[in-house]
Amino acid sequence: MSDLMTISTEIRNASPEEADLLSDLALRSKAHWEYPREFVEACRQELTYQPSQIDNNKFDFVVVEENATVIGFYALEKLSRVEFELDALFVEPKYIGKGYGRRLIKHALSSLATKGARKLLIQGDPNAAQFYIAAGGRQIGVRESGSVPSRLLPLFEIIVPAISCSCRLAHTGDLVDLVDLAVRSFIDTYGGENDEYDLDDYLSNSLTVAKLGEELEDINNEFLLVRSDQTDELIGYAKLSNGSCHSSVIGKAAIEIERIYVDNSVMSKGVGSVLMSYCLARAHSLACDVIWLGVWEKNPRAIQFYERWGFLTVGEHKFKLGSNIQNDFIMNKSLAFEDG
């Protein structure tokens, strides 16, 4: 009978005395990507942290330990009351790919939410681009490296939700919660502008347990769910479909956001941005070059939201709500920029 070692992990604030330890860890983590030795050396100054930095209220240095050994850390720099930058996020090479990076970025976002922050900027290593996209980041530009002049690095932005929440793909066990939110959010969005009979007709044909169950099983569909970390309540969802594409959408590999809704109780708290970030990340992971959606012409709030995310109106189509034929704008967003 063998003894199994208990693995304990802890995330805590770094101490100034750990500056050298974190500097060495950052260089080892950078070297993991098989950069030439001279390139890693060129990064040494930028990746050397001083005790005064860790002790500075402008920065938050946080480490993750496994069995009391530091195996990763992140550093946040305060730019303004609502905007921070991720100055560092490194994990020991042998622990890369084991979920510690995800734990650190999630911890950072949760910490920022408690501070009232709304935006996190990240100048990322190209090898970490997929990681930051999967964490909800979207590329907003490029920035010159602080270590190698003329080397341009992708600049990402993550919108920090006002509440702590998590996004994942749905499974059949989510069906009841999904139907409940789908019905409530549809009524909240369209109830005030449409006939009750038309609403009931749509709900009884399109948002039932049977119908959404079929859609969950369809390999052409994916549902993304956002749940509150505190209550596990479902507070937002999106449906992605890579089936048919509207004729006004130009692309070799298109994906549609067929539905994206947020519960009224968390409206304007960043949950919609979390969903959109993950929709874009999922589209990117599927190698799509364009993402599109239809939005009711009488829903200016949604239209403005999509425009802020870079969607452009490219066409129109008709949407049947009961006996009412409505007009939807077709909007799309090229993903070529996100591909770097």
Annotated catalytic residues are 306
Pair 98, 127: CB distance under 8 Å? no
Report which secondary-structure segment, H or E, holds 283. Answer: helix 271-285
Measure the CA–CA gap between 136 and 232, rounded to whole angstroms.
19
- The Cα angle at residue 313 between residues 238 and 136, in degrees rounded to 5: 35
Measure the CA–CA gap between 54 and 50, rounded to whole angstroms.
7
Measure the CA–CA gap between 12 and 259, rounded to whole angstroms.
39
Measure the CA–CA gap between 237 and 184, rounded to whole angstroms.
12
Measure the CA–CA gap between 16 and 91, rounded to whole angstroms.
19
Tokens of 118: 């709304």
Pair 251, 290: CB distance under 8 Å? yes
Pair 279, 224: CB distance under 8 Å? yes
278-317 b/e (C-beta count within 10 Å ≥ 16 → b) = bbbbbbbeeebbbbbbbbbeebeebbebbeebbbeebeee
Report which secondary-structure segment, H or E, holds 224. Answer: strand 221-228
